[in-house]
Amino acid sequence: MLDDKQRQQNAKRKDSLLTTGFSFLILFPMMYLMLPTVIFLFLGMLPTLVALVVDSSSKSKLKYKWLCIGGLNFAGSLPYLFRLWFSGNNTWDGAVEMFLSGMAFFIIYLTAFIGYLLYRYIPPVVLSFLELSDQRRVVNLREAQVKLIAKWGEEVASGVAVNVSEPSKNKADSSNEAKKK
Protein backbone atom coordinates (compact mmCIF):
# COMPACT_ATOMS: atom_id res chain seq x y z
CA MET A 1 0.00 0.00 0.00
CA LEU A 2 2.77 2.40 0.95
CA ASP A 3 4.69 1.47 -2.17
CA ASP A 4 1.67 2.32 -4.34
CA LYS A 5 1.45 5.81 -2.83
CA GLN A 6 5.17 6.37 -3.35
CA ARG A 7 4.90 5.18 -6.95
CA GLN A 8 1.99 7.54 -7.58
CA GLN A 9 3.88 10.47 -6.06
CA ASN A 10 6.98 9.63 -8.11
CA ALA A 11 4.85 9.40 -11.26
CA LYS A 12 3.30 12.81 -10.51
CA ARG A 13 6.75 14.33 -9.98
CA LYS A 14 8.01 12.80 -13.20
CA ASP A 15 4.97 14.12 -15.09
CA SER A 16 5.41 17.60 -13.65
CA LEU A 17 9.12 17.60 -14.53
CA LEU A 18 8.34 16.48 -18.08
CA THR A 19 5.66 19.13 -18.43
CA THR A 20 7.96 21.83 -17.06
CA GLY A 21 10.84 20.69 -19.24
CA PHE A 22 8.64 20.58 -22.32
CA SER A 23 7.31 24.05 -21.55
CA PHE A 24 10.82 25.46 -21.30
CA LEU A 25 11.82 23.63 -24.46
CA ILE A 26 9.11 25.52 -26.33
CA LEU A 27 9.26 28.74 -24.32
CA PHE A 28 12.91 29.67 -24.79
CA PRO A 29 13.00 29.45 -28.62
CA MET A 30 9.72 31.41 -28.76
CA MET A 31 11.18 34.00 -26.41
CA TYR A 32 14.20 34.36 -28.68
CA LEU A 33 11.99 34.75 -31.75
CA MET A 34 9.78 37.31 -30.02
CA LEU A 35 12.48 39.16 -28.10
CA PRO A 36 11.20 42.71 -28.81
CA THR A 37 7.73 41.73 -27.58
CA VAL A 38 9.15 40.08 -24.47
CA ILE A 39 11.29 43.12 -23.67
CA PHE A 40 8.41 45.54 -24.21
CA LEU A 41 6.02 43.46 -22.09
CA PHE A 42 8.62 43.03 -19.35
CA LEU A 43 9.14 46.78 -19.13
CA GLY A 44 5.43 47.55 -19.43
CA MET A 45 4.23 44.90 -16.99
CA LEU A 46 6.67 45.74 -14.18
CA PRO A 47 3.87 47.12 -11.96
CA THR A 48 2.06 43.80 -12.32
CA LEU A 49 5.20 41.89 -11.41
CA VAL A 50 5.69 44.06 -8.33
CA ALA A 51 2.04 43.58 -7.35
CA LEU A 52 2.40 39.81 -7.78
CA VAL A 53 5.46 39.69 -5.52
CA VAL A 54 3.88 41.95 -2.89
CA ASP A 55 0.55 40.12 -3.08
CA SER A 56 2.11 36.67 -2.70
CA SER A 57 3.94 37.79 0.44
CA SER A 58 0.69 38.88 2.11
CA LYS A 59 -1.06 36.54 4.52
CA SER A 60 -4.44 36.93 2.84
CA LYS A 61 -5.79 33.93 0.95
CA LEU A 62 -7.45 36.12 -1.66
CA LYS A 63 -4.76 37.59 -3.85
CA TYR A 64 -6.48 39.82 -6.38
CA LYS A 65 -4.18 42.83 -6.38
CA TRP A 66 -2.00 41.57 -9.21
CA LEU A 67 -5.07 40.65 -11.27
CA CYS A 68 -6.60 44.13 -10.98
CA ILE A 69 -3.34 45.86 -11.71
CA GLY A 70 -2.30 43.36 -14.37
CA GLY A 71 -5.51 43.47 -16.35
CA LEU A 72 -5.49 47.20 -16.79
CA ASN A 73 -1.71 47.27 -17.16
CA PHE A 74 -1.95 44.82 -20.07
CA ALA A 75 -4.84 46.80 -21.57
CA GLY A 76 -2.65 49.91 -21.50
CA SER A 77 0.27 48.03 -23.07
CA LEU A 78 -1.71 46.39 -25.85
CA PRO A 79 -2.13 49.37 -28.24
CA TYR A 80 1.59 50.07 -28.10
CA LEU A 81 2.36 46.39 -28.54
CA PHE A 82 0.27 46.36 -31.73
CA ARG A 83 2.07 49.46 -32.88
CA LEU A 84 5.39 47.70 -32.24
CA TRP A 85 4.33 44.65 -34.24
CA PHE A 86 2.87 46.45 -37.23
CA SER A 87 5.10 49.52 -37.49
CA GLY A 88 7.97 47.67 -39.15
CA ASN A 89 10.26 48.57 -36.25
CA ASN A 90 9.88 45.27 -34.39
CA THR A 91 13.42 45.23 -33.04
CA TRP A 92 14.97 45.31 -29.62
CA ASP A 93 15.88 48.99 -29.99
CA GLY A 94 12.42 49.75 -31.34
CA ALA A 95 10.77 48.13 -28.32
CA VAL A 96 12.85 50.07 -25.81
CA GLU A 97 12.46 53.30 -27.78
CA MET A 98 8.68 52.90 -27.98
CA PHE A 99 8.42 52.18 -24.27
CA LEU A 100 10.58 55.12 -23.29
CA SER A 101 8.67 57.52 -25.49
CA GLY A 102 6.89 59.78 -23.03
CA MET A 103 3.32 58.95 -23.86
CA ALA A 104 3.62 55.13 -23.92
CA PHE A 105 5.41 55.02 -20.57
CA PHE A 106 2.85 57.38 -19.04
CA ILE A 107 -0.24 55.59 -20.43
CA ILE A 108 0.97 52.09 -19.53
CA TYR A 109 1.85 52.97 -15.95
CA LEU A 110 -1.24 55.17 -15.56
CA THR A 111 -3.47 52.22 -16.42
CA ALA A 112 -1.62 50.13 -13.83
CA PHE A 113 -2.27 52.88 -11.27
CA ILE A 114 -5.96 52.93 -12.20
CA GLY A 115 -6.00 49.16 -11.62
CA TYR A 116 -4.53 49.74 -8.17
CA LEU A 117 -7.17 52.38 -7.42
CA LEU A 118 -9.91 49.95 -8.42
CA TYR A 119 -8.39 47.29 -6.18
CA ARG A 120 -8.12 49.70 -3.28
CA TYR A 121 -11.42 51.62 -3.41
CA ILE A 122 -14.09 49.47 -5.08
CA PRO A 123 -14.37 46.73 -2.38
CA PRO A 124 -15.23 49.19 0.44
CA VAL A 125 -17.87 50.85 -1.76
CA VAL A 126 -19.44 47.49 -2.62
CA LEU A 127 -19.31 46.48 1.04
CA SER A 128 -21.15 49.62 2.12
CA PHE A 129 -23.88 49.02 -0.47
CA LEU A 130 -24.24 45.42 0.71
CA GLU A 131 -24.48 46.56 4.34
CA LEU A 132 -27.19 49.07 3.47
CA SER A 133 -29.08 46.42 1.52
CA ASP A 134 -28.83 43.97 4.42
CA GLN A 135 -29.99 46.59 6.93
CA ARG A 136 -32.98 47.42 4.76
CA ARG A 137 -33.82 43.72 4.45
CA VAL A 138 -33.72 43.31 8.25
CA VAL A 139 -36.09 46.27 8.65
CA ASN A 140 -38.49 44.79 6.09
CA LEU A 141 -38.38 41.39 7.77
CA ARG A 142 -39.03 42.95 11.20
CA GLU A 143 -42.04 44.82 9.80
CA ALA A 144 -43.37 41.63 8.23
CA GLN A 145 -42.79 39.80 11.52
CA VAL A 146 -44.76 42.39 13.49
CA LYS A 147 -47.62 42.17 10.96
CA LEU A 148 -47.66 38.37 11.25
CA ILE A 149 -47.75 38.56 15.04
CA ALA A 150 -50.58 41.09 14.88
CA LYS A 151 -52.53 38.87 12.50
CA TRP A 152 -51.81 35.40 13.95
CA GLY A 153 -51.02 36.14 17.57
CA GLU A 154 -48.03 35.80 19.87
CA GLU A 155 -47.92 32.01 19.45
CA VAL A 156 -46.35 32.44 16.01
CA ALA A 157 -43.24 33.92 17.55
CA SER A 158 -42.81 31.42 20.38
CA GLY A 159 -39.14 30.86 21.15
CA VAL A 160 -38.01 33.89 19.13
CA ALA A 161 -37.07 37.23 20.63
CA VAL A 162 -39.32 39.75 18.94
CA ASN A 163 -39.53 43.50 19.24
CA VAL A 164 -43.31 43.88 19.28
CA SER A 165 -43.24 47.63 18.74
CA GLU A 166 -44.91 49.22 15.77
CA PRO A 167 -43.23 48.82 12.38
CA SER A 168 -40.52 51.39 11.85
CA LYS A 169 -41.84 54.78 10.91
CA ASN A 170 -40.34 57.34 8.64
CA LYS A 171 -38.08 59.95 10.13
CA ALA A 172 -40.63 62.58 9.13
CA ASP A 173 -43.33 60.86 11.20
CA SER A 174 -41.10 60.67 14.26
CA SER A 175 -40.09 64.32 13.87
CA ASN A 176 -43.78 65.32 13.59
CA GLU A 177 -44.54 63.45 16.82
CA ALA A 178 -41.65 65.21 18.52
CA LYS A 179 -43.03 68.60 17.41
CA LYS A 180 -46.48 67.74 18.81
CA LYS A 181 -45.01 67.07 22.26
In degrees to the nearest 10, what's the CA dihedral of 101, 102, 108, 111? Answer: -170
pLDDT higher than threshold 60 for residue 169: no
Q: Are 49 and 12 in contact (CB under 8 A)?
A: no
Give the tens place of pLDDT for each residue, 53-73: 888 777 777 778 889 999 999
The pTM of this model reads 0.63
Residue closest to 143 by CA, chosen among 169, 161, 175, 173: 169
In degrees to the nearest 10, what's the CA dihedral of 15, 18, 22, 24? Answer: 110
Q: How far apart are alpha carbons 45 and 128 in whole angstroms?
A: 32
